[in-house]
Amino acid sequence: MKHYVIRAIPLCEGERDMSQWTYRWNPGKKTRTACYTWYIEGSDPLTLVDTGAEIENFTNPDYPMKKIMTLEEGLGQYGLKPEEIRQIIVTHLHFDHIALAGRFPNATFLVQKTELEFAQNPHIFCAVDYNQDYIRDIDFKLIEGDREILPGLNVMMTSGHTPGGQSVVVHTPRGKAVIAGMCSQLSTFEQTSVMKMRGLEVAVCGIHTDCRVAYDSALKIKKEADIIVPVHEPLFISQQMIGSD
């Protein structure tokens, strides 16, 4: 089995209400958040998960972000340039996961067919999270359901946050790491004592198209993963290497 290491590249950070990651729980509590692209070290062709976003892409003044590094700086840490990236797996098409797609002129973007269809004509309630400018004229390769992308690198459907969300299963020397295909933090997957009393094993992110499906998808991730990699978890701002011995 081929093994990889995940390199978190944090681009910007801010603060959010914790209930965004734990729907109906923890309202009013603030938590640090971050936006990333993820380099799959050892991949051939060179592969990222999500493009991330920079502070200019966050236009809501209620949710200010501050710069950590630029995309070019982040890739440069590993001797890479955007034009060398050939493949980008997109967990979902919310703006903060696809905003920098135009920086990758030679990449193919792998996305679930149902996700692209929804993103091109989103329900008005969800439309603020999609930006047509970021997905127009992109070279998308459409996937339907679970799929092996490379040996030791798979995608699995985890919808509910969005209609076509997909998580990325990465075989690493430390076991299966799952990059969660939904906006989440580690708190999304942690069972509190109160949740246990109610028979709940995971929480649901605050933004969803179907909270029941989102719950099942979060539970699926928790059961599949040896290492859960939530896409907005602030831990990876400092702990940027995931899955290494």
Digit-coded pLDDT (tens) for 146-174? 999 999 999 999 999 999 999 999 999 99
Q: How would residue 243 be classed by pLDDT, with cut points 50, 70 and 90? A: very high
Token pair for 21: 């990651």
Handedness of CA 225, 148, 119, 124 (dihedral sign): negative
Output the domain CATH number for residue 142. Answer: 3.60.15.10
Res 62 pLDDT > 90:
no
Q: Is residue 151 classed exposed, middle or buried when 0-12, 13-18 and 19+ CB atoms within 10 A define those classes?
A: exposed
Q: Which helix (H) or strand (E) holds 35?
A: strand 30-41
Res 245 pLDDT > 90:
no
Tell me the mean pLDDT in the region 52-60: 95
> Residue 60 has what pLDDT?
87
Phi, then psi, of 239 in degrees rounded to 5: -100, 80
CB 69 within 8 A of CB 78: no
Share of the chain above pLDDT 70, in %: 100
Res 83 pLDDT > 90:
yes
> Residue 25 has what pLDDT?
93
Total domain count for the chain? 1
Give the number of C-alpha atoms closer than 13 A to the C-alpha of residue 152, restricted to the C-beta side: 19
* Model confidence pLDDT, tens digit, residues 182-205: 999 999 999 999 999 999 999 999
Give the residue numbers spanning the domain of 219.
Answer: 5-242
Q: How would residue 103 be classed by pLDDT, with cut points 50, 70 and 90? A: very high
* Model confidence pLDDT, tens digit, residues 35-51: 999 999 999 999 999 99
Across the chain, what does the average pLDDT equal? 96
Does the pTM of the predicted model rise above 0.95?
A: yes
Q: Which residues of 169-179 are buried (b: 16+ CB within 10 A; e: fewer)?
A: bbbbeeebbbb
* Model confidence pLDDT, tens digit, residues 218-237: 999 999 999 999 999 999 99
